[in-house]
Amino acid sequence: MASEVGPRQVLSVNQLDAQSIDKELLAIFKGQVDRILEPLDPDASFRYGPEITAALQFLLWWSCIWKDRPTPGMAMMNLRYTDARGVASPTQMAGRVRWQRLCLAGLSVLVPWIFARIRARGLSRGWASRPPNDSRRRAWALLERLYGIWKYIHLFNLLAFLRTGIFPSVAERLSQLKYANERGGPEANQRSINLQFMNRQLLWDGFTQASLFLLPLLDRNMARRIYATATRRGGRIRSSLARSWEQCVQFATGNVPVSSSGNNVSTASPQAQTSQGAFPEIGVFPRGQGRTLQVESCSFCGAQPALTPQIASCGDTFCYYCIQCVGVEEGDGTAVPLCPKCGDPVSHYRPWGGGEDVPLHKNWSTAQR
């Protein structure tokens, strides 16, 4: 929100930011002074806190405002103090500005110090716990009433500032000192620094404070149970997806996964697998129709499962080496070989995962003895 004081408006946010920066600077200086005094007197910060704060505020006023210089916050926001009233001559302007600066020092430094010192003394002497007829109890009640009235005045002044954009504090309104842009032209409301880092710091500080407030309210045991349950479920889902992906890859490449018991993980029929495009149809084999897709033991050597399985035309499973090299020829080698397991003729075979038919001219009827 900008002030309505002419063509060169002063942004209200710049005025509030200037005051905030000055307060943060004073807090940093006070922290350093407390660290210096702590080895000498650990209670110095508590006993002399109002005096330390008032001294730092007076140094800031004397080094900047009294010498007609902007404070660090005002310099960063491109602001300076100016008289809110119009005067006729430079002499009247100088006298009025000098009086206004002294008034600002009294209202922003002296009055807060007197109030803080009286309040600290009342708290340390227990004025609030005195009998109702005691003068110190009445003084404490009056002090609290004055403090409440001051808070209401500050609230009304803030509402007026949001409406008009001038006099963000009561002391500045009473002393008739308002903010003005130090540089005119296009750079009138331009800040001297980028406050992006400060915004990130404030955001992180808010997140930290919220975390410090919420974390003690959480039940660690419940959080552990929730985490363990989510981890187990996630592990099962990941394992299931990994197995499904591995099976899809193996079925697509013709490499069939075999379980620890020697049986294939798939129990679909050859025709069902053929309809999905995973294996060639083997229903042309007399005993292959309707058989489950399981890598069985070799019908000759008994290997469980068969090594590099081959499916004979009878539908039984053999190792590649067994179906190639172990057969015993009879006669002139023209007899049709017989399966040693079922006795059916074996005219050809093919790889278990699919492929071309391979003719076979060996008789195995006498091989298994």
DSSP secondary structure letters along 280-317: ---TTSTTTTT--------TTT--SS-SS-EEETTS-E
Range with the poorest average pLDDT among 38-52, 74-88, 178-192 = 178-192
Only one residue has tokens 């491109």, namely: 78
How large is the average pLDDT for residues 313-327?
A: 76
Does residue 103 carry a pLDDT above 60? yes
In this predicted model, what pLDDT tens digit does every residue of 283-301 receive, in sequence order?
Answer: 334 344 434 455 678 888 8
Q: Select the more confidently predicted residue: 44 or 156.
A: 156
Q: Which amino acid is at 115?
A: F
Q: Which residues are bridge partners to 79 per DSSP?
A: 181
Are 368 and 298 within 8 A, CB to CB? no
CA distance 169 to 241: 65
3-state secondary structure 66-87: CCCCCCHHHHHCCEEEEECCCC
Average pLDDT score, the chain:
75
Are 74 and 192 within 8 A, CB to CB? no
Only one residue has tokens 């068969």, namely: 306
Share of the chain above pLDDT 90, in %: 17
Pairing of strands 317-318, 310-312: antiparallel
Range with the poorest average pLDDT among 17-31, 132-146, 242-256, 274-288 = 274-288
- CA 187 to the chain's CA centroid: 37
Task: Report the length, in residues, of the chain.
Answer: 369
Residues 6 or more apart whose Cβ sits within 8 Å of residue 352: 256, 295, 306, 309, 310, 311, 317
User: Residue 195 has what pLDDT?
Assistant: 63
CA distance 190 to 183: 9
Are 79 and 179 within 8 A, CB to CB? yes
Give the chain's domains with CATH numbers.
12-185 (no CATH), 195-228 (no CATH), 296-368 (3.30.40)
Longest dimension (CA), the chain: 139
Are 26 and 55 within 8 A, CB to CB? no
Does residue 108 carry a pLDDT above 70? yes
Residue 220, exposed/middle/buried by CB under 10 A (0-12, 13-18, 19+)?
exposed
CA distance 352 to 350: 6
Does residue 160 carry a pLDDT above 60? yes
Only one residue has tokens 């005691």, namely: 134
User: Residue 193 has what pLDDT?
Assistant: 59
User: Residue 200 has what pLDDT?
Assistant: 77
3-state secondary structure 162-189: HHHCCCCCHHHHHHCEEEEECCCHHHCC
Are 77 and 29 within 8 A, CB to CB? no
Q: How confident is the model at residue 87 (pLDDT cuts 50, 70, 90)?
A: low
CA distance 124 to 116: 12
CA distance 72 to 24: 11
Task: Tell me how far apart the terminal alpha carbons of the chain are, to the nearest angstrom.
Answer: 104
